[in-house]
Structure 1
């Protein structure tokens, strides 16, 4: 109403001015026909669109500008539908209104052409944030429209989405029968309700909290204060690095919620597992991407060997519901969310937590519902969100993670965060509120360290193994081939024993020398054969099966830390990885052996010089020497070499003089296959432990034949030992 009054006042002034002179009268008459067009929602939209047009010309486009763009687009769409359906409008009036809307739409199209990232906001499934809904209501009122009442947000439920897919593994039923009662604990509800807004009652607080991170100046803290650790020792002599021990020490002192946003390579998995041990947060639920769930089980064994872990595959037929750590991937969470909510977890870790940034997705709803159940049933659960990329598109990507941790709900801050905001003595209208609010949120448990921040803690270069499980038909086929190869070796060994002549040889257990002769014969036959299953074809198939997961992990790294180098031995593995990157809109440069020197140099320059080219896909043999790719500090080894020298040459493409950051090589290992055996042999023969500490190693004199032979010997002797052969 205030806006309408001002417009009428302006019209009266224009009318009185018309009585002053003929020139002014003609001017007033020219303005009068435009007065009706100044009323209603369309001129309001046009004005905001012009503001956005001006703002987009000053890159980068800020989140608030993106919100305005989306709201104008939504209202133009809705107003067009209303005009088309309004039977009271004459044909000429309808045409006039549609023409005015087309003018606004044309301006929006021009804006989107300038910043193409805005096009994602126009998609049918684009998320409309709470800030956008609030701003939309404001714009509608300014245009004389009454915004519809927003339906109350539905309470999260662990059974509503995709209930028809739910399963309950038999192991879970057994656990429920063994312990049918979970003691009620009312302390959890009491703690959530302890902080009631007093001075800040009635204030909109979530948007100012999000904006406080947007307006933070250079040098503003991004990490909570962390205590100095008393001890950095860990299980089986594995020592924590100082920055890792700080998080564990904070847990020992009672902190229970963390947004752990360290860069990849700084050991977030170990920090989470040892924090769970310090908090006695068992049973512990771990939600992870599929590509790393086997690695989490491996890390549980390394860092907390006294605790049992179980990995849920498919319907969970092989899981152990009595385990201390239950690991499930996002993709199958819908099948298990029901019983997971009732198991009585006392802690929850969500890895790659930026996966839940879209609160409207089923994946996010399941994760948030499980977090709510755990916070309801446990008084002080350990809740940890792990991500190297806490922000993907805008500040509101924080919303789902903060809700996961119990810092906020859909409407307001909760518990300790609300108390901290009350204690500032400020309101969002006060000048210092943003800095104080940001500090209050960070103190809730935001931990962010970069490699450069803790460079003294970590080795100059290291190899980090990432075990993966080969699922599906490819995995079954590879395991079957390995079984067939092992049986063939055992058969040859037995045949050699039977035909042995001369003096009897006293052997305690397996005759290792005979086993080596059998393995050498198999290796010779495998090298001579053009067809048939052997150790070489099996390793090749393992590489092909690892291509997809390895590319997935490289894509995650690229989103988290920037440039990544991806190494593979075979062209088909490189092809599959490049297709994965292309499908995800990730730009890459390809460096292969069949390229001309000109093409090769062009692709190297694209990776090193173009900030939009995130990944270099390199041939392990063609790009392993003579390249300088130190613009990256992370690389992925999708396939194993037969010698450590080849692997080291690849790492040296980024670990060179001038490299400012520690280098991490992520080696993708197919768990429970000969791939893992080969990795162990390479490491044992190359002094990997020394290299991991200081980047130095003895000259590698191991030949590829040595590793191939020892891999076959290991398969044979393990099979014979399992059968009790002596």
Structure 2
């Protein structure tokens, strides 16, 4: 049965076929095009051939950010670009744009809620606390969803032809202020690219505002959408699910492209690393920056000293300060790490997160409890007899979403392949510790590519440890393998989520009856 929505005849204008495959491939800068995997090139073609108004719903970890950046490279005549994203991803977007498009750092404007002390790359940072009349005059303008409400008038009065909404499921709630403020901005743009590996977290009604943002003339009546696709719920008219196969087909025909890791696994490297740069405020970095200054003084004194005894004494002080910096960095990063985890948790993924210091481990543990996320915790206080039981819970129970592990205690002897996402809240001075920890998920039994995310912050110990780890690995590679080695960081990945996430595709498998009868019997009650 063809949906009544299609009968309105409005889909004839959906596609802008001016972008042929040949034109797309010749428009993408070579240094981007050569890094795109085949399915990513297909994604860029799909977006442009569909008029640049698309929901890119690839499973997280398949490079949605890079595909969106590649699209913007094909439509430079329509710049400037507006990026809407969760607060934890603002600097990540800035770094990716700077890295891939070679846009001057000063042309990338990032709106923060407070003054930033983590801007070593020289991005144009403005704060909503220090400036009330913000001019969004960057070539790329990056703001969080929470800031859209404050800046809606400015955004609506600006002529942004290209708008990217990352993690667009943040707009699933029609009553939320950020949704009401963001939708008109997306509707006004010529090109609106929505990115989400989980566009519907639990029920089809969560899709409506995203679809309305792309095609308000087609998806204009929530009543029609709800009656057709959202029946069967016990809490309200639009809390259920019905005619899901039809909705899936409709979306894929019109606005959505979605690929799963299991379907493109042969095109992916087995393990991919991503640096995620956190934004820390002046308050969090007060102690670490003070230590930095002391370290610089000691380093200069070591270089100028003529006495071995003095050098030894200075190196002892340097080691003491580095240990102090290690501890202070953990404390400083806690709020930003928690903020980042909030995004991961909302997506519903199964993941491992590694930390070193107890304050960080405890803060993450309490956050998981607060968010009612099923989890296991393995650190130095976990006795050996309990470990295997915890591992079994993580591997076998769908309700257990997070594995919280200390780098030392949880980095060896454990098989945790139920997760394909590994996050490091902190670093270790020993590269082998990090690789061992990564391989809790990247080992025999893993069926998906493993995506590893290192949460780093400037003006913390991360600046020092990351370089040290690289140097150590290069040296080890020369000795053991006869060639340099490194912790290669992939430049085409995004936040990942496990393949067991509950999205529209899982609805398709479990609730495939057009009349919704099977949906009621097979699907969980929403």
Q: Which residue of 2 aligns with 1:239?
A: 35
Between the aligned partners of 1:254 and 1:276, the Cα distance in structure 2 is: 14
Q: 1:262 to 1:326 in 2, by over 3 A?
A: same
Q: Which residue of 1 aligns with 2:249?
A: 439
Q: Secondary structure at the residue paired with 2:413?
A: coil
Q: 2:361 aligns with which of 574, 593, 611?
A: 574
Q: 1:482 to 1:198 in 2, by over 3 A?
A: closer
Between the aligned partners of 1:677 and 1:547, the Cα distance in structure 2 is: 19
Q: How far apart are residue 700 of structure 1 and its match?
A: 9.6
Q: How far apart are residue 648 of structure 1 and its match?
A: 0.2
Q: Which residue of 1 aligns with 2:199?
A: 390
Q: 1:481 to 1:452 in 2, by over 3 A?
A: same
Per-residue displacement from partner, 1:660-703 (whole Å, max 9, x unpaired)? 11111111010354413432442354259x9xxxxx9879999x
Q: Secondary structure at the residue paired with 2:54?
A: strand
Q: How far apart are residue 606 of structure 1 and its match?
A: 1.7
Q: How far apart are residue 267 of structure 1 and its match?
A: 1.0
Q: How far apart are residue 388 of structure 1 and its match?
A: 1.3
Kindly indicate whether residue 249 of structure 2 is the aligned counterpart of residue 452 of structure 1: no
Higher RCO (CA-CA < 8 Å; seq separation 6+): 2
**Contact 1:243 1:454 (8 Å CA) reproduced:** yes
Kindly indicate whether residue 425 of structure 2 is the aligned counterpart of residue 638 of structure 1: yes
Q: 2:63 aligns with which of 256, 267, 271?
A: 267
Q: 1:464 aligns with which of 274, 284, 307?
A: 274
Q: Which residue of 2 aligns with 1:486?
A: 296
Aligned Cα root-mean-square deviation (Å): 3.5
Per-residue displacement from partner, 1:524-583 (whole Å, max 9, x unpaired)? 2244x5xxxx22221222223323433443453355363201100112111100111111
Q: 1:340 to 1:490 in 2, by over 3 A?
A: farther
**Contact 1:233 1:240 (8 Å CA) reproduced:** no
**Contact 1:357 1:400 (8 Å CA) reproduced:** yes
Q: 1:116-265 residue pairs with structure 2 within 5 A?
A: 200=8, 230=25, 234-235=30-31, 239-253=35-49, 255-265=51-61
Q: 1:282 to 1:623 in 2, by over 3 A?
A: same
**Contact 1:563 1:615 (8 Å CA) reproduced:** yes
Q: Which residue of 1 aligns with 2:155?
A: 340
Per-residue displacement from partner, 1:133-185 (whole Å, max 9, x unpaired)? xxxxxxxxxxxxxxxxxxxxxxxxxxxxxxxxxxxxxxxxxxxxxxxxxxxxx
Q: How far apart are residue 439 of structure 1 and its match?
A: 3.3
Between the aligned partners of 1:667 and 1:391, the Cα distance in structure 2 is: 27
Q: 1:342-421 residue pairs with structure 2 within 5 A?
A: 342-372=157-187, 374-375=188-189, 381-407=190-216, 408=218, 410-411=220-221
Between the aligned partners of 1:301 and 1:563, the Cα distance in structure 2 is: 30
Q: 1:664 aligns with which of 439, 448, 451?
A: 451
Q: Secondary structure at the residue paired with 2:347?
A: helix
Q: How far apart are residue 411 of structure 1 and its match?
A: 2.1
**Contact 2:46 2:257 (8 Å CA) reproduced:** no
Q: 1:580 to 1:700 in 2, by over 3 A?
A: farther
Kindly indicate whether residue 109 of structure 2 is the aligned counterpart of residue 310 of structure 1: yes
Between the aligned partners of 2:8 and 2:439, the Cα distance in structure 1 is: 56
Q: Determine which structure has more spread, i.e. the larger CA radius of gyration.
A: 1
Q: 1:320 to 1:607 in 2, by over 3 A?
A: same
The structure richer in helix per residue is: 1
Q: Secondary structure at the residue paired with 2:267?
A: coil
**Contact 2:32 2:70 (8 Å CA) reproduced:** no
Between the aligned partners of 1:535 and 1:291, the Cα distance in structure 2 is: 27
**Contact 1:262 1:447 (8 Å CA) reproduced:** yes
Between the aligned partners of 1:400 and 1:466, the Cα distance in structure 2 is: 29
Q: 1:403 to 1:354 in 2, by over 3 A?
A: same
Q: 1:552-701 residue pairs with structure 2 within 5 A?
A: 552-560=339-347, 562-686=349-473
Kindly indicate whether residue 335 of structure 2 is the aligned counterpart of residue 525 of structure 1: no
Between the aligned partners of 1:519 and 1:387, the Cα distance in structure 2 is: 54
Per-residue displacement from partner, 1:85-141 (whole Å, max 9, x unpaired)? xxxxxxxxxxxxxxxxxxxxxxxxxxxxxxxxxxxxxxxxxxxxxxxxxxxxxxxxx
Kindly indicate whether residue 98 of structure 2 is the aligned counterpart of residue 301 of structure 1: yes
Q: Which residue of 2 aligns with 1:326?
A: 141
Unpaired segments ≥5 residues, structure 2: 11-19, 114-126, 225-242, 487-526
Between the aligned partners of 1:490 and 1:302, the Cα distance in structure 2 is: 32
Unpaired segments ≥5 residues, structure 1: 1-196, 206-225, 376-380, 415-432, 502-513, 691-695, 703-726
Q: 1:698 to 1:597 in 2, by over 3 A?
A: farther
Between the aligned partners of 1:200 and 1:382, the Cα distance in structure 2 is: 23
Q: Secondary structure at the residue paired with 1:392?
A: coil
Q: 1:701 to 1:400 in 2, by over 3 A?
A: closer
**Contact 2:94 2:108 (8 Å CA) reproduced:** yes
Report how many residues are paired. 430
**Contact 1:285 1:326 (8 Å CA) reproduced:** yes
**Contact 2:288 2:459 (8 Å CA) reproduced:** no
Q: How far apart are residue 586 of structure 1 and its match?
A: 0.9
**Contact 1:354 1:390 (8 Å CA) reproduced:** yes
Between the aligned partners of 1:245 and 1:198, the Cα distance in structure 2 is: 28
**Contact 1:629 1:654 (8 Å CA) reproduced:** yes
Kindly indicate whether residue 98 of structure 2 is the aligned counterpart of residue 288 of structure 1: no
Q: How far apart are residue 628 of structure 1 and its match?
A: 0.5
Q: How far apart are residue 311 of structure 1 and its match?
A: 0.8
Q: How far apart are residue 263 of structure 1 and its match?
A: 1.7
Q: Which residue of 2 aligns with 1:279?
A: 75
